[in-house]
Structure formats: C-alpha cells, structure tokens
C-alpha cells in the first residue's frame, strides 16, 4: 500500500524558523470546536459529504443515460468548471491524445463567442448532452450560453431537445430550477452551503466524471478519509494540531505575517497540472478579503523551470511554495544505447527518470534560495489520492480563513463584478450600479496609440 506524506523539512526557511511551527496553536482548540459546530450544522458539507448517499443514488440512476452520448457540452464558469477540467486531464487524458475516438467533454467556461459557435457548428446534436451548472441559477455567463445552446438543440432535435440537457443547480430556487420544473428535464442539486469552488466532489464535478468513466466513488472515499476525524464531537485541540490541514493553514498564516504574499502551487505531476488552476480559485476567492490573503500562483514542473522559476528563485523573497509530487509515475520509454557520448548517462535509462531528477533538482534549488516549501507527496496518481488532495486543500483553506478572521465561504467582490455587468447589459434592479457605470464611462479618456 502506498503512502501519502507531507514533508515539512523545508517549510521554515527564510524569515521563518522552526519555532514558528506552533505560533498559532493557541487558537487550535477554539477552532476545533468551531469546526465541529459548523460541520454539525451542515455549513461545511464538502468535509463530511452528508449528501453522498443521495448523490450516489442519483449518479447511478443517470449514468446509463449519460453513457448513451458521445459528447458532453458543459456550460459553467469558475468553480463549475475548474475542478472538472482537472479531473478530466488527470483521469481521462486520452481525450487530448491524437486520433481519440472515445467520449469527449467540452467545457465552455468563458464568454467566447467564436469558440462556442464553432463547437455548435461541429458537434452532432443527436449525440450530445448539454450540462448546465449554476448553483444560483442566475450566473449571467452560464445562462447566456444556455440560451444559445437551447436554441441550437431545438433547431436540430425539435420537440425532443429537452431530453439532451441536464441542469445542475439549487434544489429549490433560481431560474434553472424553474426550467427543470417547466421542462421536466433531468437535474441534480448542488447541496445547500456548497459554494462553487468547494463543489467539485458533488454533482458539479461527478456528473462529467461519470460520463467519462472516472472512478468517482474513489474520489469520494479519498476525500472522506481526510476529513473523518474532524467530524467527531471528540475532535479537540490535539486532533486538530496533528491534522495536516491545520499545519498547512498555520504555516500559510505565518507566511503572510512574514510578508510572503505569494503562494506557489508547483505541480510535478504533469497529468495533475490543472489542479493548480483549481487551487488558485479556491485560495484566492476564499481568502482575498479585507486587505488580507496571499496570491496563489500555479506552476507546472518541469515546464516552468524554464520560464517563471527564474523569478521565483532570483526575484523578491515574497514566496512560499506548496510542492506537489509523486514518486510513482509512468517510467515511459527507454533511451537507446547508442546515444552520443555527451549524453551517455541516459543510455538504458527510462524517460521518466528525467522528471524525478528535475523534481529533486528544483526542490533543492528552492531550498538553496531559502524559499519556505512544503512538499505534498502522493503515493499514487489515483482517484483516491486526488480525493484526498482535494479535501486536504479545501479544509486547509477554510482554516486559513478563520486564522485570518475572515469568512472563507463568501466572495463579495465577485458578486460586485456580476452586478456591474448586469447593469451594463440593462438588467433591472441595479440602480446604484448604473450610476457607478455612468460615472466610470463618463471619465475623460487618456489614450495612447501603439
């Protein structure tokens, strides 16, 4: 059996020292109690997954229908898409390979008129299921895409078009729920108190996972194994202190206190690189409030050793690093025995040994520049381990938010941008935002050609 580990050897480099390891432990007991109360009142459902039984039943019911399609067009943005893309690239990489003839997942996560028009021109409607994801049922970018896709389905399928959609939204409220009731369309709920960036292990991420044949039960098993001990009433100060999510949160808070304002997420598992983008939203949207937080910056090994790592190692000393590795990755093809003498050390070696050498070399370089670094090492690149990683980072993010004394579950400034966009489009009920837009657009321009 493989083991997942966290290596703290380089965590306390630079302006940090080993004595900082327990800097925030005085708050541990209080936050352990708070955590249990929040879990018990169903405010943190991504930790104990109280919706799991119903989710599994619904996924099993819908799976034969999902499997009947060759293409899935997923309409969603932010947390409705980033986790799904990470799962697809990690566990269904064949979609991106030459001459792939299996299922295809197309994720429309932006306002990109050219791309969606091309997709709808090329996709066979009769072989395509459209999955629309919005917890509120009113996300303007997603709803606008739905209107376009709905018309496309009607044109190609006539009265049967609604048999090709699934709406994933709030169980009771919102426009998409109204559409479910009006059309009798298939749907699955986003559980209460489950924000988008924490929702990948719900229908949001697992419906497309089921479509692709990814082992979604293993994802759930892995996640629950990380959070289980925190869900017990007996979870106290000692349990919390020993939990890796607490240690990451305490370390991250200490980094911010010592002016390390950027947190690198350096992934040395190529197939898992998109988890960096998922983590960036999780961290930024949860913690960037009230002038607090740190900037998450995804990086991919080995690629970014030849681009941005120059800045990481030689630039301002304002970065800590979460370093994701796995010692058991594909070894790949063997180098031939007739390589030029200059590269004779590669003769007979596996191509994958290069990745392991680069992983070690980069980590040592961070150490030599005294960059605080925590290595998260997964034993295997399976769905179980991915579930464990997702849960670990979600819990650590929440605890970091509480240490910062902010709410890690809301996103007020995201909502501000949405309100201003709606006002610009002429939606009603945005009088104050309309005044702000009038002032903004009425400024004297200062424009230079280039």
Residue 350 φ then ψ, to 5°? -85, 145
Is 377 in a helix, a strand, or coil? strand
Q: How far is Cα 390 from Cα 216, in angstroms, rounded to an integer? A: 13
Helices (H), 68-112: 82-91
State residue 356's pLDDT score: 95
Q: State the helix-helix crossing angle for 140-157 and 412-424, rounded to 10 degrees.
A: 60
Of residues 317, 321, 326, the one with CA closest to residue 364? 321
Catalytic pick among 285, 375, 385, 433: 285
Strands (E) across 144-226 are located at: 165-170, 186-190
For residue 413, what are its two tokens? Answer: 């400034």
Write down the domain spans for the chain. Answer: 5-37+224-403, 45-93+101-214
418 catalytic per annotation: yes
Residue 434: in which H helix or E strand, if any? helix 431-441
Residue 171: DSSP 8-state: S
Is 139 in a helix, a strand, or coil? coil
Contact 66, 207 (CB under 8 A): yes
Buried/exposed 319-355: b ≥16 CB within 10 Å, e otherwise: bbbbbbbbeebeeeeebeeeeeeeeeebeeeeeeeeb
Catalytic pick among 154, 156, 292, 418: 418
- The model's pTM is 0.95
State residue 179's pLDDT score: 97
380 catalytic per annotation: no
**Can you tell me which residue has the tokens 């925590």?**
374
For residue 171, what are its two tokens? Answer: 């169980």
Fold agreement between 5-37+224-403 and 45-93+101-214: yes
Contact 296, 284 (CB under 8 A): yes
List the pLDDT tens digit at each of the 450 positions of the chain.
568 999 999 999 999 999 999 999 999 999 999 999 999 999 999 999 999 999 999 999 999 999 999 999 999 999 999 999 999 999 999 999 999 999 999 999 999 999 999 999 999 999 999 999 999 988 899 999 999 999 999 999 999 999 999 999 999 999 999 999 999 999 999 999 999 999 999 999 999 999 999 999 999 999 999 999 888 877 778 889 999 999 999 999 999 999 999 999 999 999 999 999 999 999 999 999 999 999 999 999 999 999 999 999 999 999 999 999 999 999 999 999 999 999 999 999 999 999 999 999 999 999 999 999 999 999 999 999 999 999 999 999 999 999 999 999 998 887 777 788 887 878 888 888 888 888 888 888 888 899
Neighbours of 431 (CB within 10 A): 9
- Determine the Cα angle at 247 with ends 241 and 253, to 5°: 120
37 catalytic per annotation: no
Residue 329: DSSP 8-state: -
Q: Which fold has domain 45-93+101-214?
A: Rossmann fold (3.40.50)
Catalytic pick among 19, 306, 342, 439: 306
Is 138 in a helix, a strand, or coil? coil
Q: How far is Cα 41 from Cα 55, in angstroms, rounded to an integer? A: 19
Domain 5-37+224-403 part of CATH 3.40.50.10490: yes
Give the torsion through C-alpha atoms of 204, 170, 62, 41, to 10 deg: 80
State residue 234's pLDDT score: 73
SS3 content of the chain, % helix, strand, coil (to 5): 55, 10, 30
Of residues 139, 141, 150, 220, the one with CA closest to residue 183? 150
Q: How far is Cα 177 from Cα 166, in angstroms, rounded to an integer? A: 11
State residue 1's pLDDT score: 53
């Amino acid at each position: 059996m493989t083991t997942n580990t966290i290596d703290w050897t380089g965590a306390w480099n630079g302006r940090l020292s080993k004595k900082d390891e327990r800097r925030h432990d005085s708050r541990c007991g209080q936050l352990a109690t708070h955590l249990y109360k929040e879990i018990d009142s169903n405010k943190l459902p991504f930790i104990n997954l109280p919706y799991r039984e119903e989710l599994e039943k619904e996924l099993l019911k819908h799976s034969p229908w999902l499997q009947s399609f060759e293409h899935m067009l997923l309409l969603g943005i932010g947390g409705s898409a980033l986790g799904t893309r990470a799962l697809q690239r990690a566990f269904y990489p064949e979609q991106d390979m030459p001459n792939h003839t299996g299922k295809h997942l197309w994720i429309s996560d932006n306002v990109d008129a050219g791309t969606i028009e091309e997709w709808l021109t090329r996709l066979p409607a009769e072989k395509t299921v459209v999955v629309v994801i919005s917890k509120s049922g009113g996300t303007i970018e997603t709803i606008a895409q739905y209107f376009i896709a709905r018309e496309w389905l009607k044109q190609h399928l006539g009265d049967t078009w609604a048999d090709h959609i699934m709406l994933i939204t709030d169980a009771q409220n919102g426009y998409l729920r109204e559409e479910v009731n009006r059309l009798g369309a298939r749907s699955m709920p986003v559980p209460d108190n489950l924000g988008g960036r924490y929702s990948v292990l719900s229908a949001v991420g697992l419906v497309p996972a089921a479509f692709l044949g990814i082992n979604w039960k293993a994802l759930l098993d892995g996640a629950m194994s990380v959070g289980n001990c925190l869900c017990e009433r007996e979870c106290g100060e000692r349990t919390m202190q020993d939990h890796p999510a607490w240690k990451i949160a305490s370390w991250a808070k200490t980094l911010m206190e010592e002016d390390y304002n950027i947190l690198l997420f350096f992934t040395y598992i190529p197939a898992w690189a998109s988890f960096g983008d998922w983590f960036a939203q999780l961290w930024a949207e949860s913690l960037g409030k009230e002038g607090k937080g740190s900037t998450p910056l995804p990086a991919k090994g080995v690629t970014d050793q030849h681009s941005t790592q120059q800045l990481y190692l030689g630039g301002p000393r304002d970065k800590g690093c979460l370093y994701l590795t796995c010692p058991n990755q594909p070894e790949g093809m063997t180098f031939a025995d007739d390589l030029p003498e200059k590269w004779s050390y590669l003769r007979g070696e596996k191509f994958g040994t290069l990745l392991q050498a680069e992983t070690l070399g980069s980590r040592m370089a961070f150490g030599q520049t005294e960059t605080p670094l925590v290595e998260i090492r997964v034993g295997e690149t399976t769905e179980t381990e991915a579930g464990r990683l997702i849960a670990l980072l979600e819990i650590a993010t929440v605890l970091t938010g509480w240490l910062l004394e902010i709410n890690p579950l809301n996103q007020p400034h995201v909502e501000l941008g949405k309100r201003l966009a709606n006002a610009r489009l002429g939606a009603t009920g945005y009088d104050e935002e309309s005044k702000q837009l009038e002032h903004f657009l009425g400024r004297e321009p200062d424009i230079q050609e280039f």
